[in-house]
Chain A
Amino acid sequence: MRSVTLGITLLDCASPNLDLLCRKVKEKVRSRADGLVSVCRRISSRYGIPIVNCRIAVSPIAAVAAGHGVQGFVEVARALDQAAAEVGVDFIGGYTALVHKGMSRSDRALIESLPEALSITTHVCASVNAASSHAGINMEAVALLGHIIKQLAERTADRDGFGCAKLVVFANIPEDNPFMAGAYLGLGEPETVVNIGVSGPGVVKRAVERLRDACPDTTLADIAEEIKNTAFRVTRVGELIGREVAEELGVAFGIVDLSLAPTPQVGDSVGEILQAMGVAEIGGPGTTAALALLNDAVKKGGAFASSSVGGLSGAFIPVCEDACLANAASRGTLGVEKLEAMTSVCSVGLDMVPVPGDTTPEALAALMADELAIGVVNRKTTACRLIPVPGKKAGEVVSFGGLFGESAILDLRSGTADAFVRLGGRIPAPLVSLNN
């Protein structure tokens, strides 16, 4: 079990008095999440299945604290950080603005507060939905975020720009995603809700290896079937535990997100699954096709296991967090272009991708726009967690420690799109949006 994420509505904490708002936020998080960690510990011990992380996702703070300006948002971030520490969760997500079609003054203030808010807090995670299949891509927001990410990296330069690992820029952000840093509680969600992130790259890899060892004439269809079966079982365990946690906490059960989320540990890698399927070099020919098979089989197994599947529910390819992908990046077989292609057939996007510290805000924005375009046109979620590592160049290694892992910094193609980014405005919604 990767993550039990408790969603808590904070919309009723809104107040013109900033102090009162912050107190209400802390009080509500405390009161709703007080038992979360102990309940997870109890259920984990009952079943002998470790729950790696307990987390909280809240309503988009741009709406909760609308009208309070940049410094007001920073204070709210501080309040969230304290509340998270008090209830014992490692991350609280929802420092979020939804700006896919346009930015309100408060949305802009939240975005402008990000460099300070994420550098002075430990537990707060932020996300911005800058594009959707229905609205297109808000290039004004994307261009602004290019600058914000640079500032955030500079402010956390002593930790190699780690602040950027806590900010996700989305197209088609899911409202019930339990995985950080992108989790927030959507406006259409219940008052409080438990969402579960199961994860099992290691389990899937071993299943594929066992099958190939046992049956020398295994075909790709057999592998897809085996992955479906494994995803079914993993999803079932997630739902069982999620429902028990929800029942003990007395809140609604939301969804199981059956994404394969790797960790830097060897044996817990999406890249290794592709290798087990016979793709020798991650990033080389065959990578995208193997990943497409994996992602699809995971979804099919999960969909059959439960009617409560949601979130992202696919394979994640966060470069730093997956030792196999990080190695491929170091060897130069995996580049940003191949990653982009891979994200068109799997979950998330350019995730935990370290780029050279001298990457310009415009280049960051253009790269994000490329990734968001894949999501917008294909009616799927894509996202970016780009980390311009201050003072470091392509090929140098950056290490964030723990679950965030390490990787060589990826090189970016030369050539600028500065003029394109500066045009601003909105890339219109694609034809696929007109489906009513």
Chain B
Amino acid sequence: MAEWVVTVMSADRVGIVAAVSGALARLGGSITNLSQTVLRGYFTIILTVSLPPEVSPDDIRAAVSAAGAEGEFEVGVKPYQLRASSSACATGAERFILTARGQDRPGVIYRISSYLATRGVNIEDFYAYSTGDGQFVMILEVAIPKEWDLSQIQLDIEDHGREVGFVAHLQHENIFRATNELDAVARPRQRVQDKEVAKN
């Protein structure tokens, strides 16, 4: 079996996931990971799928495209390659939650993300939206290399935020979980989770 990364973008409607997953199933594929969201009426999905070795990327693109109406889906296909740097744990980084909120204006995401890039901080998940009253909210899951002094990064991020009129906070994933989940703070549970993350 060969593994592929497939993306589909389209105007949203009922039945897109069924159409895409049906096309992949008919090719003999098994979806291994999937993330899907709808952003202001536009659907996007990224997934990894295991397929028989004889299936080519053109076959995948053709089958998925044909599952929608003419020109409806924009389909991307790439062979899946495990990169050592793709896992936060593999590189000795720790996960943090970065939240920022302020009056919407151009260049805010650039400001924050370019700073993160200079520090080798990988953005693993990012969700941002405008509220009705002109406020812009960003929630990022980031992997920060262990060599950085966290308090410095925190001060930098707060400062970058302040300069563009945003209130920004950086919180370790463990703190975020401890303060937002009902499960008791218990080391054994964390160790199990750490092991699972390491395995993946």
Contacts and interface: CB of A to CB of B under 8 A. Distances in A.
Interface of A: 45-49, 232-233, 236-237, 239-240, 243-244, 247, 306-307
B178 A237 contact: yes
A306 B184 CA distance: 7
Interface residues of B, number: 17
Contacts of B150: 45-48
A279 B175 CA distance: 33
Interface in B78-129: 94
Contact of B175 (A47, A247, A307): A47
A49 B185 contact: no
Contacts of A49: 175
Contacts, number: 40
Contacts of B160: none
Contacts of A243: 185-187
Contacts of A236: 178-179, 185
A168 to B, nearest CB: 30
Interface of B: 94, 149-151, 153-154, 170-172, 174-175, 178-179, 184-187
Contact of B179 (A46, A237, A307): A237
6 nearest CB pairs, A to B: A233-B179, A236-B178, A48-B150, A239-B185, A240-B178, A48-B154
Nearest to B150: A48
A237 B174 CA distance: 9
B185 A240 contact: yes
A236 B179 CA distance: 6
Given A46-B150, A47-B150, A233-B179, A240 B174 contact: yes
B172 A47 contact: yes
Contacts of B185: 236, 239-240, 243, 306
Q: Is the interface of A mostly helix, strand, loop or mixed?
A: helix
Contacts of B174: 47, 240
Contacts of A232: 179
B68 to A, nearest CB: 44
A230 to B, nearest CB: 10
Contacts of A45: 149-151
Given A48-B150, A48-B154, A307 B184 contact: yes
Nearest to B182: A304
Contacts of B179: 232-233, 236-237
A39 to B, nearest CB: 15
B178 A48 contact: no
A10 to B, nearest CB: 28
A87 to B, nearest CB: 23
Given A46-B150, A48-B151, 8 more contacts: A45-B150, A48-B153, A49-B175, A233-B179, A239-B178, A239-B185, A243-B185, A247-B187
A272 to B, nearest CB: 21
Given A236-B178, A237-B179, A240-B178, A48 B172 contact: yes
A215 to B, nearest CB: 16
A256 B121 CA distance: 33
A78 B66 CA distance: 85
Contacts of B153: 48
